[in-house]
Amino acid sequence: MNIKESVLDVLMYLYENYVEQEFADSANHDTLRVELMGAGFPEEEINHAFGWLSDLTERRDNLVNPASGSIRLYGSAEQARIGPESQGFLLYLEQLGLLSPQGRELVIDRLMSIDDDIDMERVKWVVLLVLINQTGTDDALAQVEEMVYYDGEFLH
């Protein structure tokens, strides 16, 4: 492991090694913290990762739905962090019906909350983490998961 592990590295590890119910349930966090520290993750990043997940749930539950047919314009801070390729990818997922406007807003919010540089791999992982925390997204989750793990285009 790198000396500087990121929040997203912790979240990716949780996603790959535990089912969503295990890491989404705050009752399991103490056990998971011990296991994550044993895997070499710094305690500070583990705490940030659980905070990130908690914020995702809170924002999901309190998100104002964008108006139907509205166009998303990225603010200057968002444009500086989320490049044109990533913006295009989010639009592509939305046009395919794999990401709802609400999901897109959660992805943008969660991307802006991480300190890492935002590249396409990180965008895909955040999309995956947002989808796993929404109901009725199993098909979209499976397709985005293929993209994350196989780094290919949609196969369906």
Q: Over the range 32-41, which residues count as b (16 or more CB within 10 Å of their CB) and which as e?
A: bbebbeeeeb
Q: Do 92 and 47 meet the contact criterion of CB atoms below 8 Å apart?
A: no
- For residue 2, what pLDDT is reported? 41
- Burial environment of residue 97 by CB neighbours within 10 A (0 to 12, 13 to 18, 19 or more): exposed
Is residue 50 within 8 A of residue 35, CB to CB? The reply is no
pTM given for the model: 0.83
pLDDT tens-place values along the chain, 156 residues long: 443 468 889 988 988 888 776 776 777 888 899 999 999 999 999 999 989 988 988 888 887 777 777 788 999 999 999 999 999 999 999 999 999 999 999 999 999 998 888 999 899 999 999 998 887 888 888 888 888 888 655 443
Per-residue pLDDT at 151: 66
Please compute Rg for the chain using Cα positions: 15
| Whole-number Å distance between alpha carbons of 147 and 141 | 10
